[in-house]
Amino acid sequence: MTQASLALPSGRLLISMQEFDDELPRIRLTPGTYAVRVYSNGLHTISEDGLDGEDRYHVVLWPMDEDHPAQVLKRYPEPLPGG
């Protein structure tokens, strides 16, 4: 689990899986700075090249007043495939 701050001066957030498409979800938010926390699971299923697997992610955002450095809140206990 990781957490960081994210500046969204435009108030627009694009959700992507490493490709660009006009159909990708775009979320409108109040412009400002947000905290972002990323939860993950299934990391042990990722292929050696890092392209395939049953990994899943849950991203949570909430408004905040100031930037905070990125931090790891909980580390996966084993080395991950692909480095």
pLDDT in tens, 20-79: 667 778 889 999 999 999 998 888 888 888 888 898 989 999 999 888 888 888 887 777
pTM of the model: 0.73
Per-residue confidence band for 83, with pLDDT thresholds at 50, 70 and 90? low
Please spell the DSSP secondary structure of the chain, one letter per residue.
-EEEEEEETT-EEE--SSS--TTS-EEE--SEEEEEEEEEE-GGG--TTSS----EEEEEEEEESS----EESS--SSPPTT-
Mean pLDDT along residues 2-7: 92
pLDDT for position 43: 86
Residue 18 has pLDDT above 70, yes or no: no
Integer CA distances (angstroms), 66 to 5, 26, 34, 36, 73, in order: 8, 24, 8, 13, 19
